Structure 1
């Protein structure tokens, strides 16, 4: 008989051998889904991304959410380029849920490595992570990873379809495939044979999928690199685009909900008799807190107006949530106490910082902070659902459809196959649709509607006050310069809540083990290119009851403000020009240096960044930051108005995002990111009163308006490198560039966001 020890050791050995064997295998394919692609009469699916119809239209399946960033256009361009399709024949449709659509690069991008790290260890971990994400990851949109992740598989999908169409044509005509070619959706042969895609699609679908499709040389691209118009633009202009809020299935009812004012709270007792007696009201009932959300009382009615008015006559007693009693002062105090207690986890260290600080000719200390921020997309949270006969149909605008479907199935006690999740376009997201609380809540409400579909729509106030917020953060710096003004020591520690730990706990039920680090809120601090001989960068994670989530550019959104502001302070201490000081720290980073020099040239940067024009004082500020694989530099021109407000006159931006797939989309995203960043820099802050969020409307959590918007100039650096993120990368440098310009203008440094200075509304317009 085997002893238990022998059995266990043998089992561990076998498991280890299996893991090693699995890791040595090549990555799984990403072109053929586990289930056949649904097709309509006359259509043929050539792989998991491409369908061709008899009328020659090519449908490209989209496994990422179009949130206004233009990814459906960019992805369609990748397929159309390799397919040599006629762009006018391209259509897009939402892909089903399948592992081939899992977002691999978003997971790999969250690994805690610096871009400079070229170690074998990093290479091995990234390899294994990509393999795991292919099999065990999820289909999601986030982290500015869409083009980065699908650059290869989408091009391969187009190239495979192209080869299969040519093979079908060659077989039909009895010629060699090598003698056939495709031009704008037509297969041609020099003998005079020609056939449109639609004529060959059925035969092409019978051809074997090429194992190693030949991709085009970038020098031959006809579509990639061109500023094509967004593929969904016309539908948004004529109103035919369907957003989550536009879903109107037959027999639709509407629901509104009153949620506990303190986040995470629940209903203790309620009297819904007055609401239930109103004409048009179907049902009034308590709803629990789902996936980190807050409980409340829901009203289902014939229309949304009736449902919302019924909430006004409800009488509710609450079980307060865990934020009860919490204020912003309490949060700031706890954040600072955490920094006093410990430096935390070291993300990056090099040299001997303490010794370098002792021998420094000049030293500088600073502390910065940023507040909680709401996502506040234009379209408030909503979801439509129907529960009937052991099945559910869910119409949702979500960034994580697979996670949403899993939790709907869990709530209803049915299989995931019994949940039909139909993806809709969101009217903005910025990370809010990475949560599924509102989807599960909507399904729980629809379950009470006796088989009829119900649209649950939050008001703007509820959307603002029941968010998963960008964490508040405090960061401390200490640095030293030598007698020549060279940076010789850098110490930095920041503290905030963990987003990843809480997100995994509420969405995957992975216990929060109190780990004292989270790369996503520290990113932007330890992974920047500045060359320092002695450096220590760390992080503290503390537990606070505020619900936190991923906000556009995540940790970069605040770490860039901290770092680029402190770099400017050091330049002033060294009595050096801010651009020249940064350049001196980038001698081994030609890519970053080129972007910095480009924005300096664009803006006409001079050694003196302050000047007077017709009696009005002007100043410039600069910031450089790498995020999501892209390098962005910005120069902001500001002026001081007679009423004491500041006018942002012009924002210059240079971006290196790898090969520019569609310059039009890149410019649009950069311009939007700059306005987004200016809004956070000047106007936005979430505050707490006794544990309840105060801000409820845009009037209190405002955005930059047209009459406040500066002129914006964008330059896209030429590149042949792998495309990188764009949607979030231009947000981080905005706030520090403005703060640095304000310091140059006034001699006073802002150490917290939002900036104390008010933004002047002067009638400027936004232009490229």
Structure 2
């Protein structure tokens, strides 16, 4: 049997598996059969990813689509080996099932830098399937969807194809080796075409054929080519259906007013709100109050008019106190994580050498689609319609709330109108379940107001970094970076499950793991007390560490009179990363940081989620303010599966990072953010958007691209502003210090 066949059987087929060495991890659990997500149904399942019936082919894409095109790419991976045009298939997210566990996400949790290809690191990554299968997280995050699905989804398509061929061979007394497939049909030696739908019943009765060989890249028809995603037309014409668009018979509507994080309802007088037109009930729920009404507008008007008071949490509720808590964390110096400690930093750095402090603010996720979920609760079942990145966690919470077994909870994952990490939370789903329990038999759609969305987001944490270093004409000799931050991992896990023990490496991700040969190099994470619940924001720790690290290096290069592009290339000791830097140098036509006549260029690099990414930003200092004129980005994703979408992801991530660096922050007063809507939280405007050129390289391992475009952007922009104006920006948003045209 080929290696692909063995992976196919282990990776997704429902059955027992024997794994050498598995005893140490509890082989009896690892090797037990995964549950069949379509058991007891007439779905026509050939495996958990391919369903075929009289109506055609349905492909299961279990990773959530929140605008990044994940649903389409997952379908294309299956379709390539199944030998169908993905546009001809129905694509569904599938049920919540352990069969859809995310292996790549667990592999990225291993305590090794992406550039570490040593025996121990590679062995640990290879064994990641064991804990991944045991945990069975069906999570979408960490830019892992492409890496996780690349092999298993193609294998699913290939197994289904070969099983259909076997069904045709059995029917006609032929050898499977003599048959071919094309465009959704098995082709007999005499040219007779048998549509897959005609073979589905027979194929479903067969033991899946797993002695498969995946097609060579030269044979791909869809992958690697510019693809027209099926959802683009719907999104461009306003016909895409998101969770917020769902309409069910006899549906009621709800919204919420929530206490500040850590607070409770101190006083509630529902009489006035309940007397308003269309309002049915005012319900106390965990941490706040819900209004149930006949329509969303009536619910929101009543919620705004509620006579309610909340208790005050005992955490720091004002921005000055939050900054003070981070400063105190630095002063205390208690180490949470330290994964990089090369040479002797303390001996190498002398008094008077480079020192700087950098700050990043809280940042809201602020997706365009506000939080919403629709739930129907009956005596023996609960159905949830919501867009979520963690469907298994959502089901577990619904079961705990309703007292029903998890098998009685059904979640229909919806297309998501933006997330940036916000849909890793399940607070809005839990609220919808609570409200629906009060009106059993009637579906209830919960919709948050935009103001509630801002007030009760779990933002990217505010952080302070302190950097010391030594630089000579020969380059950076020593660098000591220390970051104080609340723990995203402890905060998020504490809400959805239980916080794990140990340090939080996300505090220093995007800094400790950079491919630079600095002789004396130390990166330390300090855990600050949680003042506001925090969560993963697009590119997580790398979003801030890319700024800290990229700006500090640029400052040190400037101090020593070193061209920053040359300085980065001199330090870089990782071939794929060096190729990325060389490519962005060539793409941008780099001739130095100073452009003359008030123009300047900045360069920054960050390796995040296994993807080396380098960016150059050019700015012009005009009488109206700083204007971004050009931007260039290069990244190495290993294999470009969809050039159109990959370019969009890279340029979109860069612009996302630039816009937030320019203008965005959450500042807290009285335990609530001052920014309550987009009028006070502006990203980049259309007239501020520079022309962006991107290039994609294929030298490293296959990786995803949803997040790696974000981390270098802020540093590249700040470095460009310095080159144009001589003003060094060490705190975001930059609009605090400069004006943008």
Q: TM-score normalised to the size of structure 1?
A: 0.90
1:355 matched residue in structure 2:
347
Instruction: Kindly provide the CA deviation profile for residues 177-223 of structure 1, in whole angstroms up to 9, marking residues without a partner as x.
Output: 22221122232233333322222222222232133421112232221
User: Alpha carbons of 1:749 and 1:475: their partners in 2 closer, same or farther (altered >3 Å)?
Assistant: same
Could you say if the C-alpha distance between residues 102 and 751 of structure 1 is closer, same or farther in structure 2, counting changes exceeding 3 Å?
A: same
Q: Deviation of residue 32 (structure 1)?
A: 7.1
Equivalent of 2:280, from 282, 298, 320? 282
CA RMSD of aligned residues (A): 2.3
Instruction: Show the counterpart of 1:49.
Output: 49
Alignment pair present for 1:707 and 2:707? no
The alpha-carbon deviation at position 109 of structure 1 amounts to 0.8
Give, in angstroms, the shift of residue 29 of structure 1. 8.5
8 A Cα contact 1:79 1:155, kept in partner: yes
Which residue of the partner structure matches residue 507 of structure 1?
496
Q: Which of the residues 413, 421, 435 maps onto 1:431?
A: 421
Match of 1:205 in 2: 204
Distance 1:30 1:78, change over 3 A: farther
**Does the Cα contact within 8 Å between 1:30 and 1:100 map onto a contact in 2?**
no
Q: CA deviation at 1:224?
A: 1.1
1:320-348, CA deviations, whole angstroms, 9 ceiling, x for partnerless residues?
2344x522111112212211221623221
From 328, 331, 334, the equivalent of 1:337 is 328
How do 1:650-669 and structure 2 match up within 5 A?
A: 650-669=630-649
Matched with 2:514 is 528
User: Which range is displaced more, 471-480 or 749-758?
Assistant: 749-758
Return the alpha-carbon distance in structure 1 between the equivalents of residues 123 and 78 of structure 2.
Answer: 30
**What does 1:406-417 correspond to in 2, within 5 Å?**
406-417=396-407
Contact persistence 1:322–1:545 (CA under 8 A): no
1:13-52 map, 5 Å: 21-23=23-25, 33-36=35-38, 44-52=44-52
Cα gap change, 1:335 to 1:368, in 2 (>3 Å): same
Matching residue of 1:686: 666
**Aligned position for 2:385:** 395
Q: Residues 641 and 760 of structure 1 are in contact (CA less than 8 Å); yes or no, is this contact kept in structure 2?
A: no
CA distance in 1, matches of 2:237, 2:715: 39
Task: Give the superposition deviation at 1:608.
Answer: 4.9
**Which whole-Å deviations, capped at 9, do the CAs of 1:524-576 have from their partners, x for residues lacking one?**
01011011112111110122231100101000000000000011111112211
What does 1:32-431 correspond to in 2, within 5 Å?
A: 33-36=35-38, 44-55=44-55, 57-260=56-259, 262-288=260-286, 295-323=287-315, 326-342=317-333, 344=335, 345-358=337-350, 363-431=353-421
Matched residue of 2:80: which SS? Answer: helix
Give the 3 Å change call, closer, same or farther, for CA 718–190 of structure 1 in structure 2.
same
- Contact preservation (8 Å) 2:593, 2:723: no
Query: Are residues 541 and 650 of structure 1, via their aligned partners in 2, closer, same or farther at CA, if it must alter by over 3 Å?
Result: same
* 2:678 match: secondary structure: coil
CA contact (8 A) 2:36 2:48 kept: no
User: Residue 31 of structure 1 contacts residue 49 of structure 1 at CA under 8 Å; is this kept in 2?
Assistant: no
**Which residue does the alignment assign to 1:765?**
none
Q: Displacement of 1:37 after TM fit?
A: 5.5
Residue 630 of structure 2 corresponds to residue 640 of structure 1: no
Q: Counterparts of 1:464-479 in structure 2 under 5 Å?
A: 464-479=454-469
Partner of 1:746: 725
Deviation string, structure 1 residues 295-322 (Cα, Å, up to 9, x no partner): 2221111111211222243211222234
d(CA) in 2 for partners of 1:315, 1:193: 74
Look up the match of 1:498: 487
- Residues 343 and 538 of structure 1 are in contact (CA less than 8 Å); yes or no, is this contact kept in structure 2? no
Q: Name the CA distance, whole Å, in 2 between partners of 1:678 and 1:437.
A: 29
- 1:723 CA displacement: 2.0
Q: What is the TM-score with the length of structure 2 in the denominator? A: 0.93
Alignment length (residue pairs) = 721
The alpha-carbon distance between structure 1 residues 87 and 423, as it changes in their structure 2 partners (threshold 3 A), is closer
Structure 1: gaps of 5 or more residues: 1-17, 289-294, 762-768
Task: Give me the whole-angstrom Cα distance separating, in 2, the residues matched to 1:30 and 1:531.
Answer: 45
| Structure 2: gaps of 5 or more residues | 1-19
Rounded to whole Å, the distance in 1 between the matches of 2:321 and 2:475 is 39
Preserved CA contact (<8 Å) 1:253 1:454: yes
693-702 or 116-125, which deviates more: 116-125
**Residues 8-39 of structure 1, C-alpha deviation per residue, up to 9 Å, x if partnerless?**
xxxxxxxxxx9962549699689975243576
State which of 506, 527, 532 in structure 2 corresponds to 1:541: 527
Between the aligned partners of 1:681 and 1:406, the Cα distance in structure 2 is 37
Give, in angstroms, the shift of residue 142 of structure 1. Answer: 0.7
Equivalent positions of 1:571-610 (< 5 A) are 571-586=557-572, 588-610=573-595
Using the alignment, how far apart are the partners of 2:190 and 2:304 within structure 1? 77
How far apart, CA to CA, are the structure 1 residues paired with 2:183 and 2:150?
21
| Contact 1:648–1:759 (8 Å) recurs in 2 | no
- Residues 620 and 31 of structure 1: CA distance in aligned 2, closer, same or farther (over 3 Å): farther
Q: CA deviation at 1:121?
A: 3.5
Q: What SS is found at the alignment partner of 1:726?
A: coil
Deviation of 1:417 after TM superposition, in Å, equals 1.4
Change (3 A) 1:562 1:27: farther
1:249-276: CA deviation from partner (whole Å, max 9, x where unpaired): 111111122222x322111121111111
